[in-house]
Amino acid sequence: MNAEFDPSVGTAVGRSTPKLENREKVTGRAEYIDDLYRPNMLHAAILGSPFAHARILSYDVSEALAAPGVVGVITGDDVPAGRMGAFIKDEHALAKGKVLYLGEPVAAVAAETLEQARAAVNLIRVEYLELPAVLSPEAGLAPDAPILHEALADYIKVFDAGSTGNLCSRTELTEGDVDAAWAGCAVIVEGEFTTQAQAHVAMEPCGALAEMDAQGRVTLWSANQSVFRVQANVCESLQLPMSRLRSLTPRVGGGFGNKMEAHIQPLTVALAMKTGRPVKCVLTREEDFEIVRARHPFRIRMKTGADAEGRLIARECEVLLDCGAFADDSPGVMGYALLMSGGPYRIPNQRATGKLVYTNKLRFGAYRGFGNPQVSFASEQQIDEIARKLSLDPIEMRRRNLLQPGDGWFVGPKVASNGLSACLDAVEKASAWGRKPDAKPGTRRAKGIALSAHISGLLGTGAIVRMLEDGTISLNTGATDIGQGSDTALAQICAETLKVPVEMVSVASPDTDGSPYNWGTTASRVTYTTGRAVAGAAGEVLRQAMGHAAEMLDVPVEDLELREGGRIAIRGSNTDLPFAAISGRAHWAKGGPIVGSHTLVFDEPTHDPKRAIALGLPFPRIGVFSFAATVVDVEIDEVTGQARVTEAWSAVDVGRAINPRLVDVQIEGGFIQGMGFALYEEMVWDGPKLANPSLLDYKVPTSADSPHVHSIIVEDPEPSGPFGAKGAGEIGLNPVPAAIANAVGAALGGVSHDLPLTAERLLPRIIEAEHAA
Amino acid sequence: MPGKQVFTLDLNGRETEVFAPADATLLDVLRDNCALRAAKRGCNQGVCGACTVMIDDVPVRACLTMAGACGGRAIRTLEGYGDDPVMGRLQEAMNASGGVQCGFCTSGLLITARNLLAESPRPAQAEIRSALSGNLCRCTGYVRIVEAIASAAEEVAR
Amino acid sequence: MSFVLSPRTVEEAVGLLAELPDALPMSGGASLVAMKNARLIEASHFVSLAGIASLHGITATDTGLRIGGMTRHAQLAACDLLTGDLSMLRQAAGQIANRVVRNMGTIGGAVGNADPAADYLAVLACGDAHVELTGTEGSRLVAMTDYVTDWYETLREPGEIVTAIHLPAARPVPSVYRKLCRVPGDYATASVACASDGDGVRVAVGACGHGPIRSREAEAALRGNLRDPVAIAAFGAALADLADPVDDVRGTSEFRLRLIPRMVAAAISDLEGKR
């Protein structure tokens, strides 16, 4: 434990403060993108491509332009040639020259009413030359495969991607000597696993509203996870100087990676610039399924070896990812999945390689877990498989291999705090692991376990803290709160640093004009990275306030202390000054207004060249590690094969819970989203066309089929984190499919190779078990 | 404008006239014409529950209700519950419990929960889970929502 | 642009439908308005049946029960008249969508729409129900087992509306509705309605073909053999042979064929447990 860590509840940190914006949400007054209106505003509708792969030969928009209410139409001819992308800049604001997936926006209409816009898009005539489509990564790698991005070699790439043909990127990580290590293994298990595309289904569909002023400067509101990534993507694709675009956010109706990079912001801005009027574009649920992004389907080949005592010796992992039509966050997802493919264990010899292949489907991209749930599904089942072969209890098997405090991570990241063992102990006890659950007649039932680690960190962030004239505090970070409560947690960090009640801190809404840079609400990073910036900026405010107080009280700074309620006092005395007095002096008499700012970029290297070889690693600097253990109790109906989770226990080491209730909800919400992924959520394609782009056909968990989830917070403070905190946003989801698969394995025997674990997939295993009995 | 008509609605206790497309749904009219935007459009298919409102004291989907079929019926949206103490308890419990995350599902969910408490003052956990099954929440995993409704019910019943 | 019309009588409603060739009848709207929102249907007018008093309510008749077409799923899910071999209808109604949508959707609308994966068709086929169809020429009764003729096609003529469902009086023997669905409220991947009938059973399978699947021959063969697993397996296999399921997002045809005998056997076993 870190000696400086104070486990007691502070002024603000450690309290389950209700979220700052809850009252507007429970009264229905919170405004999301579709609730925003501007005077003279137009409504937009999008024309999607009818082909998965085609050249655009010509457009005829005359009929659409003449339609009632239509003010403007844009096609690929109206947008500049700029390309955007987080890792590989391969995507225009709107299809230009070619379409690369069915439904891809090829044109858009702005009209006085939404109905008029929707009617008019059908009047746009586009002439295409259809091309053969690539519908799987395997097909994309075939020697004679049609090529999606003919200019791939010329695209800007921010890492060594190794792109060629339809291969978007490749990554190879090696530590130890895997090939030699197999000989020393008493047990080797090997298998192939596939996982499916999962839709994010944030309850709010994506949307944007853009408006250009008389100077030609554009203001853009959108459903987002980063106003800064929105700004960068729009400006890259439309070739605008970033200073010409102001990106703002209304309340965001959930984001799980889908709102991190661009969706329809670039085309909405293009329409606003074309028409000179404010334009709002909000996707239908169907469009949200078809044109935003989704979780990557993985094909995974994994091989694991252990000695006779169950100690892991070698792990090999090879993945093939469907990239979809654009790179988006895919190289990062693959690189991260490979980095996490060993799981939170000591494995001296590891090799992880992957290929990411362009296909004519919508882009796959960031989704809570970022590749980790997929590799964990394979990895954690192989741990159980080895345990079964060695007649070891799955928990005992894991205990023998846990990554220990002080151990580094695969290829080199340092791991400081590590509460993994405590997580395992906690779920073992809470779930009464040793007690076998009773199966009702007609059902099979068993428990399963899985562990996970996840990073929080990555890239740049900043905070500005201002002490207002009356001594209250204004916090501005640029971090979009997507509902998870980061505004509240950051206000708590700020309040704790300044020993003021959290009600005294106001949180500014992110605004690229006025907020310090924040890469985004992603990578479980806001509490950890932005929290560090907030603690730093608030600390700077305190330093300045102390300086004022020292002059005002005529004592050395060393004799001063900060007291509850925002007062600076002479140690051992009743003499103190409220912030109001200090800030009043600074504003009106001496020194100038008190403003503290702090910025940082996460700069610990991912790769240690002395330890491992890494090729095509998209993240040179990654983050700090959180840990989790999850136990599920699963019941399977013998008639149909349908599995359901009856109860779940999830323990997560978050370093320090800034707001315990908000951490609980991350664990619980992550669990249920992972359960949907494990059991039935699946985007299904009928040829190139998504067959289930609606909530009637694509099902997400309801309250009635979701179990009670027992969330358990483990606190092993992270020395670099604000008050010891590290991330909690994604890790709760990672182990869920694996834990459920392990419970199914315990109930039915065998390994689950393919997700989701539908009734259709489990019934044959029940029938097999019936025949065996 | 062709295809538009005047609808007279009994909306949150007030007679309200709106001029809207003849085939507008109640959700269209609430959001576009009445600036009542607590009800959200999450799917427009009646599945997600974010647009749940009360008509004649029965919870329904505003997106599946034609405005033209609402004449003479009492419509109540979340905005119309300002003076309802039971709704106040539910709102307070949701605020305190952690059942509010992104908030997009919250309005519709509160309407369903309010109706549940009218039908069943002290619902068991399983009954709450069953009653809410048509109000999708993608953030919370439902644990804190169920807890909030149970605790509000307890307080109201006391 | 569709206008909503609100007639007060069935005569007025069918008159409007006859007069307006591009009009569609609208009962609860739960499916119809969803289809309109998804731009899957277009109509000049929606003729709302909600204001027609005679379409509401469940009444006892000389021969059994008459369920008005505008009866909501929620009313059926709570209906005390649906006991014994009709309790399966109550069970099925309570599994449609969710409580809020059950306040909207109606049995007439559901039967009129005839979605093969919806919950009523199998139960009504099993329950020897008749559909009352009314047009300008008057009313007629059609047996549910004959009603569905193809995928989303029925004996209902354009301009006719489902004014009621007729069921024989409830008998004090058990019945059960079993449904496999991905999450509660989803359409069925497969469903089975099963009612006790002396020393035999009546069984109909849903979501495994264009309409409910029922075989009186197979039921006759099973009579007296309800404790014989071989006979039950043969019965399930006979129903599976009559099935014509499709591959869709809820499951493959192969899976459904595999499910039918298992779900049928489980339903029969449920009845044995309820005796």
Q: Measured between CB atoms, does B45 come within 8 Å of chain C?
A: yes
Q: Which domain holds residue A510?
A: 22-29+459-601
Per-residue pLDDT of B12-44, as tens digits, reads: 999 999 999 999 999 999 999 999 999 999 999
Q: Measured between CB atoms, does A769 come within 8 Å of chain C?
A: no
Classify residue A609 as left (phi > 0), alpha (psi -120 to 50) or beta. Answer: alpha
End position of a domain, from candidates B47, B80, B113: B80
Q: Evaluate the CA torsion angle C39, A43, A512, A486 in order and state its sign.
A: negative
Q: What is the CATH number of the domain that holds B17?
A: 3.10.20.30
Sheet holding C45-48, edge to edge: C3-5, C45-48, C23-26
B70 in the same domain as B32: yes
> Average of pLDDT values for B92-121?
97
Q: Residue A772: pLDDT band by 50, 70, 90 thresholds? A: confident
End position of a domain, from candidates A540, A570, A601: A601
For A211-240, give one letter per residue: b (16+ CB within 10 A) or e: bbeeeeebbbbbbbbbbbbbbbbbbbbbeb
**Torsion of the alpha carbons at A216, A220, A225 and A227, rounded to the nearest 10:** 40
A477 in the same domain as A597: yes
Per-residue pLDDT of A306-351, as tens digits, reads: 999 999 999 999 999 999 999 999 999 999 999 999 999 999 999 9
Query: Using the beta-carbon criterion (under 8 Å), do A669 and B79 form an inter-chain contact?
Result: no
Q: Measured between CB atoms, does A254 come within 8 Å of chain B?
A: yes
User: C interface mutation test: which of B54, B55, B61, B136 has the most C CBs within 10 A?
Assistant: B61
Distance separating alpha carbons of residues C38 and A264, to the nearest angstrom: 21
Q: Evaluate the CA torsion angle B109, B114, B119, B122 in order and state its sign.
A: positive
A466 in the same domain as A445: no
The packing angle between helices A531-553 and A579-588, to 10°, is 80
Domain count, chain A: 3
Q: How remote is the C-alpha of A150 from its chain's centroid?
A: 30
Tokens of C86: 């009709």
Distance separating alpha carbons of residues B63 and A716, to the nearest angstrom: 48
Residue B1 has pLDDT above 80, yes or no: no
Count CA atoms within 13 Å of residue A287 on its CB side: 20
A406 in the same domain as A275: no
DSSP calls for A319-368: EEEEEESS-TTHHHHHHHHHHTTT-SB--SEEEEEEEEEE-SSPPB---T
DSSP code for A606: S
Q: What is the CATH number of the domain that holds B114?
A: 1.10.150.120
B135 in the same domain as B120: yes
| pLDDT, position A10 | 77
End position of a domain, from candidates B55, B80, B105: B80
Residue A518 has pLDDT above 70, yes or no: yes
A221 in the same domain as A104: yes
Tell whether A328 is covered by a domain.
yes
What phi and psi values does residue B13 have, to the nearest 5 degrees? 80, 5
What phi and psi values does residue A382 have, to the nearest 5 degrees? -70, -30
Tell whether A310 is covered by a domain.
yes
- pLDDT, chain A, mean: 97
Per-residue pLDDT of A632-664, as tens digits, reads: 999 999 999 999 999 999 999 999 999 999 999
Geometric angle at alpha carbon B145, from C103 and A481, rounded to 5°: 115
B59 in the same domain as B114: no
Query: Using the beta-carbon criterion (under 8 Å), do B140 and A252 form an inter-chain contact?
Result: no
Domain count, chain B: 2
B74 in the same domain as B124: no
Per-residue pLDDT of A349-401, as tens digits, reads: 999 999 999 999 999 999 999 999 999 999 999 999 999 999 999 999 999 99
- What is each CA distance from C39 to A119, A185, A554, B45, C1, in whole angstroms? 11, 61, 76, 11, 11
Residue A506 has pLDDT above 80, yes or no: yes
**Torsion of the alpha carbons at A152, A155, A160 and A165, rounded to the nearest 10:** 0
- What is each CA distance from A572 to A497, A561, A562, A568, B150, in whole angstroms? 21, 9, 12, 12, 49
B91 in the same domain as B58: no
Distance separating alpha carbons of residues A186 and A309, to the nearest angstrom: 9
- Amino acid identity of residue B14, one-letter, is R
What phi and psi values does residue A261 have, to the nearest 5 degrees? -90, -175
Residue A3 has pLDDT above 50, yes or no: no
Distance separating alpha carbons of residues C176 and C194, to the nearest angstrom: 5
Q: Nearest by CB to C182, from A286, A680, A691: name it.
A: A680
End position of a domain, from candidates B19, B52, B80: B80
| pLDDT, position A9 | 62
Residue C139's H or E segment, with its range, is strand C138-143
Structural domains present in chain C: 3-48 (3.30.43.10), 53-168 (3.30.465.10), 175-274 (3.30.390.50)
Which residues are registered as beta bridge partners of A588?
none
> Average of pLDDT values for B41-51?
98
Which residues are registered as beta bridge partners of C251?
C248
Q: What is the CATH number of the domain that holds A342?
A: 3.30.365.10
Q: Which domain holds residue B94?
A: 82-157
Tokens of A128: 């295409």
Q: Residue B2: pLDDT band by 50, 70, 90 thresholds? A: low
User: Which of A 162-201 lie inside 8 A of B, CB atoms?
Assistant: 200-201
Nearest alpha-carbon partner for A493 in A662, A653, A623: A662
> Average of pLDDT values for C124-129?
98
Query: Using the beta-carbon criterion (under 8 Å), do B64 and C46 form an inter-chain contact?
Result: no
Tell whether A591 is covered by a domain.
yes
Which residues in chain A touch residue C98, judged by CB atoms under 8 angstroms apart?
702
DSSP calls for chain B: -TTEEEEEEEETTEEEEEEEETT-BHHHIIIIIS---SS--S-SSSSS-TTEEEETTEEEEGGGSBGGG-TT-EEE-GGGGTT-HHHHHHHHHHHHHT--SS-TTHHHHHHHHHHHHHH-SS--HHHHHHHTTTS--SSS-SHHHHHHHHHHHHHHH-
B66 in the same domain as B10: yes
> Average of pLDDT values for A518-534?
96
A469 in the same domain as A583: yes
Residue A8 has pLDDT above 70, yes or no: no
3-state secondary structure A234-261: HHHHHCCCHHHEEEECCCCCCCCCCCCC
A121 in the same domain as A57: yes
User: A interface mutation test: which of B89, B104, B107, B133 has the most A CBs within 10 A?
Assistant: B104
Distance separating alpha carbons of residues B29 and B13, to the nearest angstrom: 16
Instruction: Judge contact between A445 and A643, C-beta under 8 A.
Output: no
B92 in the same domain as B142: yes
Query: Using the beta-carbon criterion (under 8 Å), do C183 and A760 form an inter-chain contact?
Result: no
DSSP code for A84: B
Per-residue pLDDT of A703-719, as tens digits, reads: 999 999 999 999 999 99
Per-residue pLDDT of A716-766, as tens digits, reads: 999 999 999 999 999 999 999 999 999 999 999 999 999 999 999 999 999
Tell whether A192 is covered by a domain.
no
Residue A592 has pLDDT above 90, yes or no: yes
Nearest alpha-carbon partner for A23 in B141, B82, B100, B54: B100
- Amino acid identity of residue A302, one-letter, is M
Sheet holding A576-578, edge to edge: A560-563, A567-570, A576-578
A304 in the same domain as A286: no
A643 in the same domain as A768: yes
A710 in the same domain as A642: yes
For A744-759, give one letter per residue: b (16+ CB within 10 A) or e: bbbbbeebbeebbbbb
For B101-113, give one letter per residue: b (16+ CB within 10 A) or e: bbbbbbbbbbbbb
A491 in the same domain as A407: no
B114 in the same domain as B53: no
